[in-house]
Amino acid sequence: MLYNMKDIVSTLDMIDRQHLDIRTVTMGISLLDCCSGSVKTTADKIYDKITKKAENLVKTGEDIEKEFGIPIVNKRISVTPVSLVGAACAESDYTPLAIAMDKAAIECGVNFIGGFSALVQKGFTESDRKLINSIPSALACTGRVCSSVNVASTKAGINMDAVALMGQTVKKTALLTADTGGFGCAKLVVFANAVEDNPFMAGAFHGVGEGECVINVGVSGPGVVYHALKSCKGQPFDVVAETIKCTAFKITRMGQLVAREASERLGVPFGIVDLSLAPTPEKGDSVARILEEMGLEKCGTHGTTAALALLNDAVKKGGVMASNHVGGLSGAFIPVSEDEGMIDAALSKSLCLDKLEAMTCVCSVGLDMIAVPGDTSAETIGAIIADEAAIGVVNCKTTAVRIIPAPGKKVGEIVEFGGLLGSAPVMPVHEFGSEKFISRGGRIPAPMHSLKN
């Protein structure tokens, strides 16, 4: 591809002044050949394979940063869902497998490793149950391991037994990491329609349909889109959509450049570019501020869902124009704690849990990095997960819940996580219970439009 001087200057300005970066270069690694009859042997194989495959990942990323002047914020690893890898093990506790992943991540120098995961949208294997039961201790004793569980899909419906179990798991994880504000829950995602090539944490895992090893890149750029929209104040939404689409095109091109360069240098196939507007707590790097730039007085007010729908669609269209391999989630993330504008909207009570749920109908993921009172029941958390899963199942899209019942915290207080994870205002949940609903168990059937064959 040929670049003219105007494009080069524009891109440099995006990097220097508008918070444009490569959010993550993520190496996906298959661990299916690490299966064995014991947890210890499996753990040793996991450590050996990850450290061998990813030994040059961080250095390669740093070299590309220096040579191209493009910030690469994170280098990460995703692996095969560990419930599959541990299935042959006789032991019931998979925490040693998480510890092996954590040690490998430290050795390779990556900031997170995802894949302590299970896929239970239609039912449990014994290994799935072992993994889910191990999540609280695994996340409490590791710093870099991320976990995810897929409890629903459009094809299978919603596994309500898994939903109930994940409500309990979230609560246990919060209690075991109470000294850090329930930080373990920030590394745990509950999905519907999880994708196999997501490079973003905490939900990344290396799907069984993927190859032996692959490079996926996640690009961000809320600040760039926000800056671009300043040039079309008062213009019709057609102009707004076109402006976002063209901006997304430029961002995705940069992501593809980095992805192909990393792929070639590491000798690993290029997978996808995920163009997701992933915000940070930095001012000017907020999805909420983009929505407000469209004319909303405060994110969360009436019109917010429509504005987010436009943003998400235009981002996807721009990405598809720029690359044949756009994947992952690609769109707009709305994590409360990681977005300065969302935090402000929540503190001003413009943004509530119900409005966030409505917004997830049209954005990329779901209820993300939301803190709720520490005394929120496991059944209420399960019901929140069920609501979000229903949105994903009926609308044939990925949805997720990353919720933190912050131990000892009440509505209006702040939970500090630091870094990219920011701080979360504790938001209220409904006072009426859902215990009898969650206790039914079973499976909510797949919708009629799942029968597409």
pLDDT digit string, tens, across residues 208-260: 999 999 999 988 878 888 888 988 888 999 999 999 998 888 888 888 888 88
- Rounded distance between C-alpha atoms, residue 340 and residue 253, angstroms: 27
Q: Cα–Cα distances in Å, from 419 out to 73, 237, 357, 423, 427?
A: 11, 35, 25, 9, 21
324-344: average pLDDT: 85
Task: Provide the CA 109 distance to its chain's centre, in angstroms.
Answer: 20
pLDDT at position 418 = 74
What mean pLDDT is predicted for residues 124-129?
Answer: 96
- How does residue 2 score in pLDDT terms, banded at 50, 70 and 90? very low
Query: Domains in the chain, please, with CATH?
Result: 28-192 (3.20.70.20), 217-370+386-447 (3.20.70.20)
What are the residues whose beta carbons fall under 8 Å from the beta carbon of 8, sequence distance 6 or more? none
Is the per-residue pLDDT at 3 higher than 70?
no
| pLDDT reading at 120 higher than 50 | yes
High-pLDDT (> 90) share of the chain, %:
68
Q: Return the pLDDT at 438.
A: 96
Asked if residue 8 has pLDDT above 50, the reply is no
Confidence band (pLDDT; 50, 70, 90) for 9?
very low
Give residue 243's identity as a one-letter amino acid code: T
In the three-class reduction of DSSP (H, G, I as helix; E, B as strand; rest coil), residue 371 is classed as strand
Provide the β-strand partners of residue 113.
Answer: 77, 145
3-class SS of residue 48? helix
State the average pLDDT over residues 412-433: 86
Nearest Cα to Cα of residue 108 among 56, 147, 49, 43:
56
Mean pLDDT of the 108-135 span = 96
Residues 6+ positions from 323 with CB-CB distance below 8 Å: 252, 253, 255, 256, 273
- 234 φψ region: left (φ > 0), alpha (ψ -120 to 50), beta (else): left
| Calpha distance 161→174 (Å, rounded) | 20
155 phi and psi, to 5 degrees?
Answer: -75, -35
The yes-or-no verdict on residue 17 having pLDDT over 70 is no
Residue 16 scores a pLDDT above 70: no
Instruction: Tell me which of 122-131, 280-289, 402-411 is least confident.
Output: 280-289
Predicted TM-score (pTM) of the model is 0.91
Residue 4 has a pLDDT of 47
Return the sign of the alpha-carbon dihedral for residues 121, 126, 132, 138.
Answer: negative
Cα 60 from Cα 152, distance rounded (Å): 37
- In whole angstroms, what is the distance from residue 317 CA to residue 328 CA? 14
Contact of 89 with 44, CB cutoff 8 Å: no
The confidence band for 14, taking pLDDT boundaries of 50, 70 and 90, is low
Structure tokens at 397: 């899209």
d(CA 278, CA 240): 20
What would the mean pLDDT of 328-337 be, rounded to a whole number?
A: 84
Q: From the CB of residue 192, how many other CB atoms can be counted at a distance below 10 Å?
A: 31
Determine the pLDDT at residue 27. Answer: 96
Q: Taking all residues of the chain, what is their mean pLDDT, rounded to a whole number?
A: 90
pLDDT reported for residue 330: 81
Work out whether strand 414-416 and strand 72-79 pair parallel, antiparallel, or are unpaired.
unpaired
Residue 160 in this model has a pLDDT that exceeds 90: yes
Respond yes or no on whether the N-terminal peptide bond of residue 424 is cis (omega within 30° of 0).
Answer: no
* Alpha carbon distances (Å) from 318 to 3, 248, 366: 18, 5, 22
Query: Please, what sign has the CA dihedral across residues 84, 88, 92, 98?
Result: negative
For residue 224 the two structure tokens come to 């760039």
Helices (H) and strands (E) in the chain, counts: 15, 14
Q: What pLDDT shows up at residue 300?
A: 94
- pLDDT(197) > 80: yes
